């Protein structure tokens, strides 16, 4: 703009000289006419040069325009290549997550198999003891049965002896009595043996039933072990398949990554070369304008030196020069504006590609909003946030980082209050943070008290709000959910892709939250 002002000043001086031209009466008429013709030719040559320069400037402007188009195409290509690189990273993360899940399942199946095998071993060990006990009982029953049979034989012999003695006439009463006592004793022992045999047989039956139930349970456990082992083998095959796919993906990704990085580097070099070319064209344009100024200065010198010329010609030259200068002025302003805008976009795009940080909605072409001339952008994991006001960005650094808790982004409440246009104070006795709306013109003018320990909020109208995420103190800074605070002031919250203008908007792709100061 300073160069344009200088050119305007030079033209003004030339025109003033042209208008103030007066005839030189003390010079001979023939010399005056000859001088006028020479000056006229010189002026026409200068005007012709100015016209040629104007044409060259137009050509330069067209080249710059085409160059900017190529740069935009290259920037879009870089963005697409970067997105492709990111997609490989996401695929690898998904594979690793699936692999970890299968490995956890394998560990769980191994634990289950081990537990089942231990149960089987315990049952088999108990079975051995019960089988040995069963064999012992059977031997005892057999022995008792043999003794019982022997006693029965003795009983039969005693009864036969008693009958034989009863047939004799002369019977020893005492011998007869002994025989009957022996018979009674034998019957009693036989009865005890039979009872004992019955008890042992019942015990044998119980043990056999128990063994049968354990055998059935053992079969079921073995079936479960077989099924668990089969599932384990299937999981092992899946893990192996995933590892092969992951290896193949990494190999392809490494190859593609190298190619993509080379392409990105090539495009960035091309953009850098185009920027230099743009600067050269700009320098050429400046030189052409400077040359045009020199030609105009030469014309001015001739006019001042000779003090001659026709009035009508001077007026025509004046109008022509004014028109030429006006065109030059407009074109120069357009080129400088375009150049400034291109430099700004270059810086912005470099930040998006290299650091993937959100600067503003307008810069990222997500959802421009004309309702708010000031908004802020917080990003998860960053210890700073950006404030965009009237198209200018200001970075504010914090001594803590934003993070996510219970699906809510947690921010230091002091910085949250500033971005919403609120003032914040602390009541140490009640352990409360007090928010007051001082600058926000669209939200209600009231105060809100937030209990740092419970997350309960109460405003000056008596309304009570319950935060679904309690505040957290980190490095002496109180962090809270910005959406809970904003909603207490009747502010709207939503997603950046829903097409609505809201006070708080979340961008899940960039893990960033936008805070619009003057949007309800």
Each residue of 308-319: pLDDT tens digit?
444 455 556 556
510 plus 405 within the same structural domain: yes
27-34 average pLDDT score: 50
Who wins on pLDDT, 379 or 201? 379
Which of 244, 272, 290 is the endpoint of a domain?
290
Distance CA 63, CA 58 (A): 9
Q: Does residue 369 register a pLDDT over 80?
A: no
Q: Give the lowest-confidence range in 5-19, 284-298, 419-433.
A: 5-19
Percent of the chain with pLDDT over 90: 18
Most confident range (mean pLDDT) of 117-131, 255-269, 483-497 is: 483-497
Distance CA 344, CA 401 (A): 27
Return all residues near 255 (Cβ < 8 A) that are at least 6 apart.
none
379 plus 512 within the same structural domain: yes
Q: How confident is the model at residue 204 (pLDDT cuts 50, 70, 90)?
A: confident
Query: How high is the pLDDT of residue 384?
Result: 93
Is residue 187 situated within a structural domain? yes
382 plus 506 within the same structural domain: yes
Which of 290, 314, 349 is the endpoint of a domain?
290
Query: How high is the pLDDT of residue 454?
Result: 92
Q: How confident is the model at residue 307 (pLDDT cuts 50, 70, 90)?
A: very low
Q: Does residue 234 register a pLDDT over 60?
A: yes
What residue numbers bound the domain in which 62 lies? Answer: 43-79
Is residue 366 situated within a structural domain? no
Selection from 141, 115, 132 nearest residue 211 by Cα: 132
Query: How high is the pLDDT of residue 48?
Result: 73
392 plus 491 within the same structural domain: yes
Q: Does residue 12 register a pLDDT over 50?
A: no
DSSP type of residue 139:
H
386 plus 490 within the same structural domain: yes
Query: How high is the pLDDT of residue 240?
Result: 84
CATH code of the domain in which 442 resides = 3.30.457.10
pLDDT, averaged across the chain: 76
Backbone angles phi, psi at 464, to 5 degrees: -115, 135
Query: How high is the pLDDT of residue 334?
Result: 60
Is residue 487 situated within a structural domain? yes
Query: How high is the pLDDT of residue 325?
Result: 61
Is residue 270 situated within a structural domain? yes
Who wins on pLDDT, 22 or 102? 102
373-385 average pLDDT score: 90
381 plus 250 within the same structural domain: no
Which of 271, 290, 309 is the endpoint of a domain?
290
Which two tokens mark 127? 């079975």
Is residue 129 situated within a structural domain? no
Place of tokens 């419970």: 454
Query: How high is the pLDDT of residue 14?
Result: 45
Query: How high is the pLDDT of residue 358?
Result: 35
Backbone angles phi, psi at 163, to 5 degrees: -65, -40
381 plus 500 within the same structural domain: yes
Q: How confident is the model at residue 453 (pLDDT cuts 50, 70, 90)?
A: very high
Is residue 496 situated within a structural domain? yes
Is residue 313 situated within a structural domain? no
Q: What is the pLDDT of residues 157-186, one digit of tens each?
A: 877 877 776 665 455 677 777 777 888 888
Phi-psi region at 130: left, alpha or beta (left = phi > 0; alpha = psi -120 to 50): alpha
228-242 average pLDDT score: 84
Backbone angles phi, psi at 171, to 5 degrees: -120, 135
Is residue 158 situated within a structural domain? no
Distance CA 464, CA 460 (A): 10
Q: Does residue 385 register a pLDDT over 90?
A: yes
Which two tokens mark 388? 């965009």
Query: Cβ(299)–Cβ(110) under 8 Å?
Result: no
Q: Does residue 395 register a pLDDT over 80?
A: yes
Domain count, the chain: 3
Distance CA 519, CA 161 (A): 125
318-329 average pLDDT score: 62
């Amino acid at each position: 703009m300073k160069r344009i002002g200088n050119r305007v000043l030079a033209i003004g001086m030339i025109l003033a000289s042209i208008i103030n031209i007066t005839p030189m009466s003390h010079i001979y008429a023939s010399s005056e006419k000859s001088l006028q013709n020479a000056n006229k030719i010189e002026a026409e040559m200068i005007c012709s040069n100015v016209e040629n320069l104007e044409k060259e400037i137009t050509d330069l402007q067209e080249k710059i325009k085409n160059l900017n188009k190529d740069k935009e195409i290259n920037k879009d290509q870089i963005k697409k290549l970067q997105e492709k690189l990111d997609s490989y990273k996401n695929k690898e993360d998904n594979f690793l997550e699936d692999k970890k899940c299968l490995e956890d399942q394998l560990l769980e199946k191994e634990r289950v198999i081990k537990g089942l095998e231990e149960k089987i071993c315990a049952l088999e060990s108990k079975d051995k003891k019960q089988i040995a006990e069963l064999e012992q009982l059977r031997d005892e029953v057999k022995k008792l049965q043999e003794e019982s049979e022997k006693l029965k034989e003795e009983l039969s012999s005693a009864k036969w002896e008693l009958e034989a003695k009863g047939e004799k006439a002369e019977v020893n009463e005492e011998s007869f009595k002994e025989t009957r006592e022996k018979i009674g004793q034998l019957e009693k022992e036989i009865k005890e043996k039979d009872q004992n045999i019955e008890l042992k047989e019942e015990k044998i039956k119980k043990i056999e039933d128990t063994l049968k139930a354990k055998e059935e349970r053992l079969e079921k456990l073995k079936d479960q072990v077989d099924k668990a082992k089969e599932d384990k083998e299937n999981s092992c095959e899946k893990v192996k398949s995933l590892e092969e796919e992951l290896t193949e993906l990494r190999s392809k990704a490494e190859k593609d990554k190298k190619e993509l990085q080379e392409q990105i580097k090539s495009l960035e070099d091309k953009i850098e070369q185009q920027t230099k070319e743009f600067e050269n064209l700009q320098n050429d344009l400046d030189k052409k304008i400077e040359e045009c100024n020199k030609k105009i200065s030469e014309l001015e010198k001739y006019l001042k030196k000779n003090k001659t010329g026709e009035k009508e010609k001077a007026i025509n030259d004046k109008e022509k020069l004014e028109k030429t200068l006006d065109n030059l002025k407009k074109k120069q302003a357009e080129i400088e504006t375009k150049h400034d805008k291109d430099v700004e976009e270059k810086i912005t795009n470099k930040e998006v590609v290299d650091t993937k940080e959100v600067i503003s909605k307008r810069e990222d072409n997500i959802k421009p909003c004309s309702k708010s001339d000031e908004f802020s952008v917080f990003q998860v994991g960053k210890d700073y946030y950006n404030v965009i006001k009237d198209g200018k960005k200001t970075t504010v650094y914090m001594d803590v980082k934003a993070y996510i808790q219970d699906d809510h982004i947690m921010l230091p409440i002091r910085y949250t209050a500033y971005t919403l246009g609120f003032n914040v104070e602390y009541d140490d006795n009640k352990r409360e943070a007090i928010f007051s709306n001082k600058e926000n013109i669209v939200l209600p003018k009231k105060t809100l008290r937030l209990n740092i320990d419970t997350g309960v909020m109460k405003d000056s109208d008596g309304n009570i709000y319950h935060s679904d995420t309690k505040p957290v103190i980190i490095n002496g800074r109180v962090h809270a959910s910005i959406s809970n605070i904003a909603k207490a002031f009747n502010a709207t919250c939503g997603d950046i892709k829903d097409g609505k203008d809201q006070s708080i908007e979340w961008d899940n792709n960039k893990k960033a939250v936008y805070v619009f100061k003057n949007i309800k």
